């Protein structure tokens, strides 16, 4: 959305990330509709017909709804439908497999890391952008994906030399909340599955050797949480919350301290005590929020308020 506006285009964004898609039709017709669509929403689409369709990644999710991961992939793939151009993640093996099923006439544009581009697939990708509002490697790759879409729309020539100038990032997506006593607090409440949490945490690797106090838990949706164990070397502690918090915590027993909380206020108090100077506290739950909150936005907003209250107490 940011890039399209910078390119001088009128944009209405919605779907899974904001106003309902049909509600956008009540407003004056823009140059572009920008929709984020969940697998649930895609189930209802017969012939999408998008100018550009993109899948940023595919990782197991909503397995309380789909019988298998393959069924979930089929639902996600419906977005590609009869799209004029397709944009896929070169780093994601399931995206690469999906590309092999597309008609030969459907053009695919790729984004991803240089390591995959040069060392695995030999497929060229654009340079990863850098901007103050893009915290973590996966957000820089997301920015590269957005640039790839703009290029597919043949609008790149309308962008300024620094298209990310003034971009501050998005709420609940690895959002920098504040710094308290040399500890960074990050809100990634939008991370509602294991893949998103892995991307966020691993994307912060190398940030001045910082370790993470990671907040996990909520409604697990039938996921396998075992892949989260590979984060253990990065962690100072794990704080678990919500319905599936205890199940997640068991995976880290004997690896890192596992701390339990009932409310977000308790979470913040426990995290403040566990974190050391130079660490980062990351809310990236790997779960949906509806066991305790209305949605991920409310969960993130309550976390931010609790963190800011803690900051006020420290200031005195």
Q: pLDDT (tens digit, 9 = 90+) per residue, 259-284?
A: 999 999 999 999 999 999 999 999 99
Neighbours of 236 (CB within 10 A): 19
Question: b or e along 248-285 (b: 16 or more beta carbons within 10 Å of the residue's beta carbon)?
Answer: bbebbeeebebbebeebeebbebbbebbeeebbbbbbb
Dump pLDDT digits (tens) for 213-237: 999 999 999 999 999 999 999 999 9
Task: Classify the phi-psi angles of 38: left when phi > 0, otherwise alpha if psi is within -120 to 50, otherwise beta.
Answer: beta
With a cut of 90, say whether residue 315 has pLDDT above it: no
Question: How would residue 145 be classed by pLDDT, with cut points 50, 70 and 90?
Answer: very high
- Whether domain 2-158 has CATH 3.40.1190.10: yes
Closest CA to 132 of 94, 168, 105: 168
Dump pLDDT digits (tens) for 88-104: 999 999 999 999 999 98
Dump pLDDT digits (tens) for 159-210: 998 898 888 788 999 999 999 999 999 999 999 999 999 999 998 875 566 7
As a whole number, mean pLDDT of residues 2-24 equals 93
Could you tell me if 238 and 81 are in contact, meaning their C-beta atoms sit under 8 angstroms apart? Answer: no
Q: Which pTM does this prediction carry?
A: 0.83
Least confident of 38-42, 76-80, 203-207, 298-302: 203-207
Comparison of pLDDT for 17 and 51, the residue scoring more: 51
Dump pLDDT digits (tens) for 108-134: 999 988 776 665 566 667 677 776 667
- pLDDT value at residue 297: 95
Could you tell me if 75 and 42 are in contact, meaning their C-beta atoms sit under 8 angstroms apart? Answer: yes
As a whole number, mean pLDDT of residues 25-43 equals 95
Q: Which CATH superfamily includes the segment(s) 175-315?
A: Mur ligase, C-terminal domain (3.90.190.20)
Q: Is 61 exposed, middle or buried (0-12, 13-18, 19+ CB in 10 A)?
A: buried
- pLDDT value at residue 164: 87
For the chain, give every domain's residue range.
2-158, 175-315
Token readout for 205 is: 């690797």
Could you tell me if 66 and 204 are in contact, meaning their C-beta atoms sit under 8 angstroms apart? Answer: no
Neighbours of 209 (CB within 10 A): 8
DSSP per residue over 102-145, as a string?
A: S-TTSEEEEE--HHHIIIII----PPPP--TT--SHHHHHHHHH
Comparison of pLDDT for 203 and 212, the residue scoring more: 212
């Amino acid at each position: 959305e940011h890039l399209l506006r910078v390119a001088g285009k009128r944009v209405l964004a919605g779907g899974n990330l904001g106003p309902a898609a049909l509600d956008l039709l009540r407003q004056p017709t823009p140059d572009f509709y920008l929709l984020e669509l969940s697998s649930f929403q895609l189930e209802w689409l017969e012939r999408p017909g998008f100018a550009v369709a993109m899948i940023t990644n595919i990782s197991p999710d909503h397995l309380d709804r789909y019988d298998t991961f393959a069924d979930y992939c089929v639902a996600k793939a419906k977005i590609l439908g009869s799209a004029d151009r397709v944009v896929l993640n070169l780093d994601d093996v399931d995206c690469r497999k999906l590309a092999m099923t597309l008609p030969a006439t459907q053009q695919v544009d790729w984004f991803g890391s240089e390591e995959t581009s040069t060392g695995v697939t030999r497929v060229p990708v654009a340079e990863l952008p850098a901007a103050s509002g893009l915290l973590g490697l996966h957000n820089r790759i997301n920015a590269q994906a957005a640039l790839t879409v703009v290029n597919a729309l043949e609008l790149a020539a309308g962008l300024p030399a620094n298209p990310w100038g003034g971009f501050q990032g998005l709420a609940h997506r690895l959002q920098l909340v504040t710094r308290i006593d040399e500890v960074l607090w990050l809100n990634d409440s939008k991370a509602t599955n294991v893949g998103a949490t892995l991307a966020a945490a691993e994307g912060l690797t190398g940030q001045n050797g910082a370790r993470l106090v990671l907040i996990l838990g909520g409604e697990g949706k039938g996921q396998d949480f075992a892949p989260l164990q590979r984060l253990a070397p990065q962690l100072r502690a794990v704080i678990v919350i919500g319905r599936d918090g205890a199940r997640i915590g068991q995976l880290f027993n004997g690896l890192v301290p596992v701390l339990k909380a009932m409310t977000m206020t308790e979470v913040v108090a426990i995290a403040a005590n566990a974190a050391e100077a130079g660490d980062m506290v990351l809310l990236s739950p790997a779960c949906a929020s509806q066991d305790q909150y209305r949605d991920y936005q409310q969960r993130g907003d309550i976390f931010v308020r609790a963190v800011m209250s803690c900051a006020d107490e420290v200031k005195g």
